[in-house]
Amino acid sequence: MNWWAASRNVLALAVVTAVTAGTGLTFGQSRIPVPAMVGGAGHFLLGALITVTPAVIWLAFTGRARNANETVAVRAVHRLDTLLAVSCAALTLGMAVLGHFMGADAVALAIGRNTAFYLGLALILNPFAGARVAAPVLTAIPLILAVGGWKAGGRGAQPWAVVLHPSTSVPALLAGVTVLLAGTTFSCLKQPRGTF
């Protein structure tokens, strides 16, 4: 177990996740102007962009250790990696709920929701493409959502653009948690594609 924790740099991932959540709680309402494809400029919250960081770092840390020895290991390493991603999501969701109840802005709930959403996507993408391909794809998702996720005339976000929905949107929260649960299930059942 120590070799796994060292190869995945679990402590650094926990620190990155906590710092991302803390930064999101502090500066998450900052708006970044992004041109929208449907005309006009979309307003993209910093909290929707930085929450992809734990998922990308998780992919980087789990992907760098993939080799022939790991794929034939007795332990199901991919299940430990899945548990690590779910733990990061739980840490962020916990910090978000705690921050919300301690009087932080409503963006706190979006920070937890978006992090869970991105980690769920990472868990789904990793078995298909491997960590080296999944990380840049995942990094592009918030940018694609920022440009193409708005309804015409700026009347809100498209239903599929989960990270763009208001912080208090219950359907978006359910969608983020559902993607995390789907990713967890899929990742537990299918080993990631190895990079040899």
- Given this model, what pLDDT does residue 73 score? 56
How many whole angstroms separate alpha carbon 157 and alpha carbon 136? 24
- Given this model, what pLDDT does residue 54 score? 93
| Closest-CA residue to 20 (of 114, 83, 105) | 114
Task: State which residues of the chain have pLDDT below 50.
Answer: 38, 40, 195-196
Q: Are 81 and 8 in contact (CB under 8 A)?
A: yes
How many whole angstroms separate alpha carbon 185 and alpha carbon 196? 25
- Given this model, what pLDDT does residue 136 score? 93
Radius of gyration of the chain measured on its C-alpha atoms: 17
pLDDT tens-digit map of 125-162: 988 888 889 999 999 998 888 777 777 766 778 888 88
| Closest-CA residue to 70 (of 83, 60, 80) | 80
- Given this model, what pLDDT does residue 120 score? 95
- Given this model, what pLDDT does residue 33 score? 66
Q: Are 114 and 45 in contact (CB under 8 A)?
A: no
- Given this model, what pLDDT does residue 29 score? 72
